[in-house]
Chain A
Amino acid sequence: MKNILEVKDLHTSFFTHLGEVKAVNGVSFAVGPGEVIGIVGESGSGKSVTSLSIINLLPFPGKIVGGSILFAGKELINLPEKEMQKIRGNEISIIFQDPMTSLNPVFTVGNQIMEPLVRHRGLSRDEARQKAIEMLAMVGIPSPEKRINQYPHEFSGGMRQRVMIAMALCCRPKLLIADEPTTALDVTIQAQIIELMKDLRDKTGTSIILITHDLGVVAEVCSRVIVMYAGSIIEQGNRRDIFYRPRHPYTRGLLRSVPGIRAKQKERLKPIDGQPPDLLNTAAGCPFYPRCEHAMLICAEERPSYTEFSSAHKAACWLYHPLAPRVERSI
């Protein structure tokens, strides 16, 4: 099957007065049709910048420096803004973390859902309204005929996120990018949204890129997982590869630092030492080596290339070089 999205060697930098911040540093991945792919990483890992690069909505002073983004066979980098607008909200939709600020407070929810339908799909107002009600019902908003005339402030956080999802899906996009869609929500509301995303995944066949820092959310929804650190993909693979056979020391560390909810005995947590990377002072070599327990001389000097463990599973780590010492698997 042909991929919906192919990102190749993407470089995005922010040019600040302190110097160039390499937020995304050579990222390549592909998303197949109907696939739900998770991008996990901590703050500063470049996961959000990657998604903003795809839809060309980088905030100042961010700029794509190199690489290619192929969407349905079309190159998105350097596409004129006019063309991009036709794709954005129509073929690629994005939902953001904060449902409070993503909706315009002076328009009714109905108006905001109908707008892209009228503009991109050429529907009449009545048709668009009908469709909007349908969409609200699909994302589980009770009595949508009534709610459609209400303003965003009349919705709770969870409900607003549902409205955002309805808005994102109303033009039947080929690709949905969800940037931390549940981070601002409470646990029980997060559970509602997770169930809704699973439901949509099965019903609509839209490809989804789910960006999150929460490993739990990824384990529940995604079929494939990309782990990012300091602007690079350090490991990617199928869900079971990442959670049961993680190869990169960072992925392992991440999984180890979450306490097991079912652990009966109180065990001491095993955190990853050190601080998140400072992207302004990227050293040569592997971005993770300053925090890595297995760091070797080579790690500080040269960036590791990917080692493939199966067709889908690969990690960038010097430990898998034939000359490297065997490190006992500790997970």
Chain B
Amino acid sequence: MEKLPVFGISPDKFKPLPAGIKETIKSTRQGETYWQDARRRLKQNKLAMLGLYTIIFIILLAIFGPVFSPYSYSDQFLDKQGLGPCKEFWFGTDTLGRDLFVRVLYGARISLAVGFVASLINLTVGVIYGGIAGLAGGKVDNIMMRIVDIFYSIPLILYVILLMVLIGPGLKSIFIALGLVYWMDMARIVRAQVLSLKEQEFVMAARVLGADSKRILFRHLIPNCIGPIIITISMNIPMAIFTEAFLSFLGLGVAVPMASWGVLASDALPAIRSYPHILFFPAMAISITMLAFNFLGDGLRDALDPRLRK
């Protein structure tokens, strides 16, 4: 009846297992946190990593580049106007004889400042506005989101022109214009997230424990929206940078002799036939930055979006 298993095993092996051995077997399972998983997925995405390194490189250049440059952005060399790229001036000089390389680096500073302001507004106004609308729900939500709709329906150019009239052109009015616009995407996305998260049991558990709305919003809801928040920011930064370049190009932005990429490109236009390199370098800087941010943004979305997880 019983098929005999292999003999030749020491009878000692059939003694009970000491209790301690069982206890030492891992009592929790192996697993990755959300961030470990996201980092691994991001690292697997070569384009996104390329974008990330490019952005870091641009930031370092923008911060330290001008310090090591022998020229400042307004130094003029009247005998060296419109030089092509050479040993002395890497990107050449413009029609007024200023070093283009250092001017592009200064442009990077302005672009990055714009990106930084946009993300700051996103993080504060956008996240909190959307969070409150989603958590409150009902009438409050309805009113808050209609306000967003109204803001959305006014073209950006209109704000900018109004601001130019009121404050005059310059970085300040660009920041204010961006501030008026660049929180709305984030508000919508955070609101949608919060609306679905607040019905989840962990939020109910917090309410049952007596947590107030502030705690629920900042401890429970927003930390669980971090993925979409980062994705939105990484998509909004290049848009803000591009908007600034575009406005400056039209002459609605930063004033001379400050050098933003848009201003540089616009300055190059009159002499484009004789000195095409003056347009080429700022345009290249804009393109590379936009591409880098977009690659990183796509990579972040793939890495952070829970719907794409397996």
Asked whether any CB of A lies within 8 Å of a CB of B in the complex, the reply is yes
Which residues of A line the B interface, CB within 8 A?
17-18, 60-61, 274-275, 278, 280-281, 283, 289-290, 294-301, 304-310, 318, 320-325
- Output the nearest chain A residue to B13 by Cβ-Cβ distance: A298
- Output the nearest chain A residue to B37 by Cβ-Cβ distance: A17
- Chain A min CB distance to B210 (Å): 32
> By the criterion CB–CB under 8 Å, are A275 and B27 in contact?
yes
Q: Which of B14-22, B132-140, B196-204 contacts A (4 or more CB under 8 A)?
A: B14-22
**Is B9 interfacial (CB 8 A cutoff)?**
yes
Provide the residues of chain A in CB contact with B310, threshold 8 Å. 60-61
What separation, in Å, do the CA atoms of A325 and B11 have in the docked complex?
Answer: 10
What separation, in Å, do the CA atoms of A306 and B15 have in the docked complex?
Answer: 20
- Chain A min CB distance to B233 (Å): 27
> By the criterion CB–CB under 8 Å, are A296 and B17 in contact?
yes
With A295-B17, A297-B14 known as contacts, the answer to whether A278 contacts B29 (CB < 8 A) is: yes
How many of chain B's residues have a CB under 8 angstroms from any CB in A? Answer: 26
**Is B219 interfacial (CB 8 A cutoff)?**
no
Provide the residues of chain B in CB contact with A283, threshold 8 Å. 25
**Is B88 interfacial (CB 8 A cutoff)?**
no
Provide the residues of chain B in CB contact with A289, threshold 8 Å. 17, 22
> By the criterion CB–CB under 8 Å, are A308 and B3 in contact?
yes
With A280-B29, A309-B2, A322-B4 known as contacts, the answer to whether A301 contacts B40 (CB < 8 A) is: no
- Output the nearest chain B residue to A322 by Cβ-Cβ distance: B4
- Which residue from B1, B6, B7, B15 sits with its C-beta under 8 Å from A296? B15
> By the criterion CB–CB under 8 Å, are A281 and B15 in contact?
no
> By the criterion CB–CB under 8 Å, are A307 and B30 in contact?
no
- Output the nearest chain B residue to A275 by Cβ-Cβ distance: B27
Provide the residues of chain B in CB contact with A300, threshold 8 Å. 17, 21
Provide the residues of chain A in CB contact with B11, threshold 8 Å. 323
Provide the residues of chain A in CB contact with B5, threshold 8 Å. 304-305, 307, 321-322
With A18-B32, A309-B2 known as contacts, the answer to whether A321 contacts B14 (CB < 8 A) is: yes
What separation, in Å, do the CA atoms of A281 and B15 have in the docked complex?
Answer: 25
Provide the residues of chain A in CB contact with B4, threshold 8 Å. 322
Provide the residues of chain A in CB contact with B32, threshold 8 Å. 18
Provide the residues of chain B in CB contact with A301, threshold 8 Å. 13
Provide the residues of chain B in CB contact with A60, threshold 8 Å. 310
What separation, in Å, do the CA atoms of A280 and B2 have in the docked complex?
Answer: 33
Provide the residues of chain A in CB contact with B27, threshold 8 Å. 275
> By the criterion CB–CB under 8 Å, are B2 and A320 in contact?
yes
> By the criterion CB–CB under 8 Å, are A296 and B25 in contact?
no
Provide the residues of chain B in CB contact with A280, threshold 8 Å. 29-30
What separation, in Å, do the CA atoms of A274 and B21 have in the docked complex?
Answer: 13
Q: What are 24 pairs between A and B in contact, CB < 8 Å?
A: A18-B30, A18-B31, A274-B22, A278-B29, A278-B30, A280-B30, A283-B25, A296-B16, A297-B12, A297-B13, A297-B14, A297-B15, A297-B16, A301-B13, A305-B6, A306-B3, A308-B3, A309-B2, A318-B14, A320-B2, A321-B14, A323-B7, A323-B13, A324-B14
> By the criterion CB–CB under 8 Å, are B13 and A296 in contact?
yes
Provide the residues of chain A in CB contact with B7, threshold 8 Å. 322-323
What separation, in Å, do the CA atoms of A298 and B22 have in the docked complex?
Answer: 13
Provide the residues of chain A in CB contact with B146, threshold 8 Å. none
- Output the nearest chain A residue to B2 by Cβ-Cβ distance: A307
**Is B307 interfacial (CB 8 A cutoff)?**
no
What separation, in Å, do the CA atoms of A274 and B27 have in the docked complex?
Answer: 8
**Is B26 interfacial (CB 8 A cutoff)?**
yes
Instruction: Tell me the residues in window 186-240 of chain B with beta carbons closer than 8 Å to chain A beta carbons.
Output: none
What separation, in Å, do the CA atoms of A325 and B26 have in the docked complex?
Answer: 28
> By the criterion CB–CB under 8 Å, are A307 and B3 in contact?
yes
- Output the nearest chain B residue to A306 by Cβ-Cβ distance: B3
Instruction: Tell me the residues in window 33-57 of chain B with beta carbons closer than 8 Å to chain A beta carbons.
Output: 40
- List 19 extra interface pairs beyond A297-B17, A321-B5, CB under 8 A: A17-B40, A18-B30, A60-B310, A290-B22, A290-B25, A295-B16, A295-B17, A296-B13, A296-B14, A305-B5, A305-B6, A307-B2, A308-B1, A309-B2, A321-B14, A322-B4, A322-B7, A323-B9, A323-B11
- Chain A min CB distance to B302 (Å): 15
- Output the nearest chain B residue to A301 by Cβ-Cβ distance: B13
What separation, in Å, do the CA atoms of A280 and B30 have in the docked complex?
Answer: 8
> By the criterion CB–CB under 8 Å, are A281 and B13 in contact?
no
Provide the residues of chain A in CB contact with B25, threshold 8 Å. 283, 290
What separation, in Å, do the CA atoms of A124 and B22 have in the docked complex?
Answer: 63
